[in-house]
Chains A and B, each alone.
Chain A
Amino acid sequence: MTSTGAVVKKPGSTRNTKTGSWRTFKPIIDMDKCIDCENCYLFCPEGCINKEYEIDYDYCKGCGICATECPVKAVKMERE
């Protein structure tokens, strides 16, 4: 293979690596309780929760920050 300067020309290509497999606990959002504060969206290290509060489980590593930071306890961490 060739690799001139090991430049990566495919932006965002870490998406090829599904870090969801790192997870032990899985966040589940109870939309009935959600007050749309955006904490989970802002604080997600993976950026895998969107503004509709859908979690992309392909990448969620299960850190639980979203559950901790939810002011109304709408996010539960469940065993995979």
Chain B
Amino acid sequence: MIEIRFHGRGGQGAVTAAEILAKAAFQDGKYSQAFPFFGVERRGAPVLAFSRIDDKPIRQRYQVYEPNYVIVQDDGLLKVVDVFSGLKKRGKVILNTKNSVEVKEEYDVYKIDATGIALDILGVPIVNTVMLGAFAAATGEVSLDSIIKIIKETFPGKIGEKNAEAAKIAYNQIKG
């Protein structure tokens, strides 16, 4: 079982990202689960969402406390939330930033300017699909094809196409 924790701000689509990831993993033939820590937070406040992926049906129903991966959709969160909390040793962090951010050595941090990609491609700073492309590249836990398929299902039409393109750019950037 692998567990993923999403850190975002209300309105950035962290909950949708967790669901797209679960659906993509399911598309890859795995079992998966995604759920928000559903607060009453409004737009802008820090939010949490979780995904689990496994080869067998997932029964457990509690929050993710020791993730294998953490996705941080906004580097501003580093100052207010301990995004590394419980992260497994050698766990990977996918971090949206264009700055040089100091992080602990025990984690593998993948930095990506997702906001820049989102602004270029989508014209709005919504980074959830971009981060999923980066996640697929950094971890290999889910295929880019499935991510793209589910993104297009989630956002039909042109918006879906653009989001898929943004995810692909992020994927390629991480892959180098």
Direct contact of A and B (CB under 8 A): no
- Give chain A's interface residues, CB within 8 Å of chain B: none
- Give chain B's interface residues, CB within 8 Å of chain A: none
